[in-house]
Amino acid sequence: MSNKILEIQDLTVSFDGFKALNNLNFSMNSGELRVIIGPNGAGKTTFLDVITGKVQPTVGRVLFNGNNLKKTPEYKIARMGIGRKFQTPRVYLNLTVRENLNLVCNRNKNVFSTLFKKPQSTEQRTVAGLLETIGLEAKANAPATLLSHGEKQRLEIGMLVAQSPDLLLVDEPAAGLTDEETENVGSLLLALAESHSIIAIEHDMEFVRQIANDRVTVLHEGSVLCEGTMEEVQNDPRVVEVYLGE
């Protein structure tokens, strides 16, 4: 049986004739942490938009666990097991860290009973485990509004992980973070990568160096410019040229 969690074949996405993605091919195995880099306008966000069903391919196909996602609505793709972390954290600011996690751990239950009911012991264990994973045990009872930007990023990643996605898509998690927060988010992604398939889009090269144990894919003008280890990619003259040209 194929171990491929995601396969993107000959993908083109046109906006009024402009090709944001141009005959792009990409494939990843289950369990990999893949990093996508590329200068502004390379097509990175569009790439995630197509995988999550926000944007439809003009040409080509996206296969998730062998299923063609053609015309599948976003909410169904999310239910199929693709979780997306946007650049800006989307957490409930007036709820505590624990309440935010409780909400997603009790996703299919009534929101109000979730908030006001005492959590069951298994749920408590899940939330406790998540708090430990994201390193926010000490802030469990703090309202999310008091968290730093990096802590909010980690909380949102925890909220996504609570939904047990098969594939986690993370859009520039290091944007706007301090060096220390960047390292914390990087460590979290590396820890999650031991049991999850992850695609991270990133601009911050220091961060990419921290998390890129698997292959790095460089996008340029909507296509894959090159793919390889971090070392191979950063020594590729085409990559140097593209980044210097920014």
What token pair was written down for 42? 């390379």
Taking the complex as a whole, the smallest distance from the CB of residue 7 to ligand ADP amounts, in Å, to: 20
* CA-wise closest residue to 147 among 100, 183, 107: 100
When the beta carbons of 15 and 178 are compared against ligand ADP, the nearer one is: 15
List the x/- string, 4-33, binding to ligand ADP by CB under 6 A. -----------x--x-x-------------
Structure tokens at 202: 């990133």
Q: What six digits make up the tokens of 32?
A: 């990999």
Min CB(74)–ligand ADP separation in Å: 15
Output the smallest distance, CB 109 to ligand ADP, in A. 36
- Strand, helix or coil at 15? strand
Answer for which of 33, 43, 130, 173 binds ligand ADP (CB under 6 A) is: 43
Name which of residues 63 to 122 contact ligand ADP (CB under 6 A). Answer: none
Residue 161 or 168 with smaller CB distance to ligand ADP:
168
- H or E segment and range at residue 33: strand 33-37
Under rule CB under 6 A, residue 41 binds ligand ADP? yes
Instruction: Indicate the SS3 state at residue 18.
Output: strand
Tell which one of 6, 42, 134, 177 touches ligand ADP (CB under 6 A). Answer: 42
Extract the tokens encoding 171.
Answer: 């859009």
Under 8 Å CB-to-CB from 199, ≥6 apart: which residues? 6, 28, 34, 35, 36, 48, 51, 167, 168, 169, 170
* 38 binding ligand ADP? (CB under 6 A): yes
Cβ contact 149:122 at 8 Å: no
In the complex, the smallest distance separating the C-beta of residue 13 from ligand ADP, rounded to whole angstroms, is 8
Contact with ligand ADP (CB under 6 A): which of 44, 85, 98, 196? Answer: 44
Nearer to ligand ADP, 38 or 165 (CB): 38
